[in-house]
Structure 1
């Protein structure tokens, strides 16, 4: 899958679910818009029952809808080609380009993904052609090593898109340096190469306390730490995916059951 010339492509990956990828993508979209660039968000696959509806009646993840608003562009089904809506008992409704494809169990969807992946890449390159910048979002962790060969939303999507990626860790969850290094170290060399920067989200306190960790992390990986984002408190934003919904209901830390 060859990457044609076109807009600059950036990607935000995370060490896991809930690290703040969606909000950081929205922030980057607004920052680019304020600098006079035309910008679009993109997430190849999202999992959420909390869909938003575009002007033409198609369904996309609410995070991509918010990101489109931040970018000052019309929400479009091509921003989120695949939306999975969990139904329970290991099944999800699959939405492709805003329209239902059917209900699939995990095995059936894994087979379907193989057929959809080239279409997702084609949609991406066709959609972003008219923008100066596209900001892609990953899902969960890119280092789910049991699923790497079928990934279409994290590092493989970054390679197909020709995107440079920021790997974001959440210090509030604890063990942020281990999470960043562990994620990077589990990836094969071709996927490590797309990670150009690392960053820490949701920090409270004296940033200078992190300097020693930054130096060691850069020494171990060769990847510079781009910076630290402060904790913004409880924001009045909708929960984006099943991770947050189930954490509120059950306290589960890692509810992801689908590839």
Structure 2
């Protein structure tokens, strides 16, 4: 329902759960807006993840970057959870913010110019084509594709050009689960309001809800969940607990304030720039005694 609601964690968990059941599953996110990226094989070069130890250095120093591409770190982690090779089709569009109104575009793993805020609607048609083609490609090769949305599916000002949330769901007839962060408060209003803001065709694809980051007694939540199901005709499939010690590579800097080190750890200071890139690289330092 929002950015940082925990969609990435939910998709990561689902990928691992399906993989453990013997299902060939792949993660997918049509568009990431993130300065946290990973370098992967782009499919034009043979190799396995074990060959990628020095991939970032080679990618940075190569003039052509042949055989390599960039995706968001979140989809890289999700692919590892699924037990499959990370590839550019799992995140076909990566927008790297360069300012409040302009982002660098990485399309199918390769730099592809820039996009400005004023171009955000009209300029996304070619990005949508790449995103849909990548989704269709993954679905042809895997038993199941678990697709993660971005932000909120009820961003009605962007719906006409959307290819990440309900636009993707409509393209692929994808059953959709709305994940919300109850720790922020207002979860019921957000769940109900998100559904009500969608048009009828989009609503038909929404199958239910997931409560994320819950602390407390779940029995106190149950009457509200029952009421929500009565009002919307859709169940809440799960209530996921708050896990402050769960560290996964973050998509954006919204998660920075929640990162902490183990008790008694040596302090490491990192300059928090406005558009800090790959800040998850330093996470491991927070676990050192």
TM-score, normalising length: structure 1: 0.86
C-alpha deviations, 1:20-41, integer Å up to 9, x for none?
Answer: 0001000000000000010000
Change (3 A) 1:190 1:242: farther
1:111 paired to 2:97: no
- Deviation at residue 58 of structure 1 after TM alignment: 0.5
Q: 1:80 aligns with which of 87, 91, 95?
A: 91
| Match status 1:176 vs 2:187 | yes
Moved over 4 A (4+): 245-250
Aligned to 2:22, which of 12, 15, 36?
36
Instruction: Note the 1:91-170 alignment, pairs <5 A.
Output: 91-170=102-181
Change (3 A) 1:234 1:79: same
Contact 2:7 2:148 in 1 (8 A): yes
* Number of the residue aligned with 1:48: 34
Which residue of 2 is the match for residue 193 of structure 1?
Answer: 204
Partner deviation per Cα, 1:162-183 (whole Å, 9 max, x = no partner): 2111111111010111110111
Aligned Cα RMSD in Å? 1.8
**TM-score when scaled to structure 2?**
0.78
Q: Match for 1:61 among 72, 87, 98?
A: 72
1:130 Cα offset (Å): 1.5
After superposition, the Cα gap between the structure-2 partners of 1:219 and 1:161, relative to the gap in structure 1 and judged at 3 Å, is same
Structure 1 contact 47–242 (Cα < 8 Å) conserved? no
- Distance in 2 between the 1:163 and 1:225 partners? 18
2:122–2:161 CA contact under 8 A, matched in 1: no
Q: Structure 2: any 5+ residue segments left out of the alignment?
A: 42-66, 260-271, 274-289
1:109: Cα distance to partner? 3.9
Aligned counterparts of 1:145 and 1:237: Cα–Cα separation in 2: 30
Whether the aligned pair in 2 keeps the contact of 1:60 and 1:77 (CA below 8 Å) is yes
Q: Residues 94-148 of structure 1, C-alpha deviation per residue, up to 9 Å, x if partnerless?
A: 0000001102211234322123323321221122212111100000001011111
Aligned length: 236
Q: Is the alpha carbon distance of 1:100 and 1:51 closer, same or farther for their aligned partners in structure 2, counting shifts above 3 Å?
A: same
Task: Please give the secondary structure, in 1, of the residue aligned with 2:4.
Answer: coil
SS at match of 2:221: helix
Q: Which residue of 2 aligns with 1:238?
A: 249
Partner residue in 2 for 1:220 = 231
Larger Rg: 2
Q: 1-side partners of 2:115 and 2:223: how far apart?
A: 48
Alpha carbons 1:91, 1:105 under 8 Å: kept: yes
